[in-house]
Amino acid sequence: MDYSYPKEEKLKSKKIIDLLFTQGNSISKYPLRLVYIQHDFEEEVALKMGVSVSKKYFKNAVDRNYFKRVLRECYRLNKHLLIDNLNQKKYCFMFFYQTKDKLEYSEINEKTIQLFEKFVNSLKENETKIQN
């Protein structure tokens, strides 16, 4: 498994980010939230991911940047949970940290795994609904 986070996987398109907020679906696992949308893009990657930490909760940029680094690292180490279950479809994600509590890395990583598993389960439920 490739545990990298290459440039092609980084979500930077303003149009796609706007689409995420207008038409995207959301899944939460406190304190994390994942907003996603199925979207075809030119790159040969299965998904694109962006991270965000609210200025409302962390006024100092140092703190926001720390939690963004932690979110990117959690994604990088656990993205195999997503990629293995996407069924050849391409998705765009925004990954949010939504609390003013400063959780430890291990707690955030654990919640990330739970959130990704919840996303995969929702995909499987949607596929069974479509088939029936």
Query: What fold does the segment set 8-131 form as a domain?
Result: Ribosomal Protein S5; domain 2 (3.30.230)
Q: Look at residue 132 and tell me whether its pLDDT is greater than 90.
A: no
Q: Look at residue 99 and tell me whether its pLDDT is greater than 80.
A: yes
pLDDT of residue 126: 80
Please write the tens of the pLDDT for every residue from 60-73: 999 999 999 999 99
Mean pLDDT, to the nearest integer, of 67-84?
Answer: 94
Q: Rounded to an integer, what distance in angstroms lies between the CA atom of residue 110 and that of residue 35? A: 18
Q: Rounded to an integer, what distance in angstroms lies between the CA atom of residue 104 and that of residue 95? A: 17
pLDDT of residue 60: 96
| Domain boundaries of the chain, sorted by first residue | 8-131
pLDDT of residue 43: 83
Average pLDDT, rounded, for the chain: 92
SS3 55: coil
Residue with tokens 């939230």: 33
Q: Look at residue 39 and tell me whether its pLDDT is greater than 80.
A: yes
Q: Rounded to an integer, what distance in angstroms lies between the CA atom of residue 120 and that of residue 47? A: 14
Mean pLDDT, to the nearest integer, of 96-121?
Answer: 95
- Find the range with the poorest average confidence among 27-31, 40-44, 47-51, 55-59: 40-44
The separation between the first and the last C-alpha atoms of the chain, rounded to the nearest angstrom, is: 33
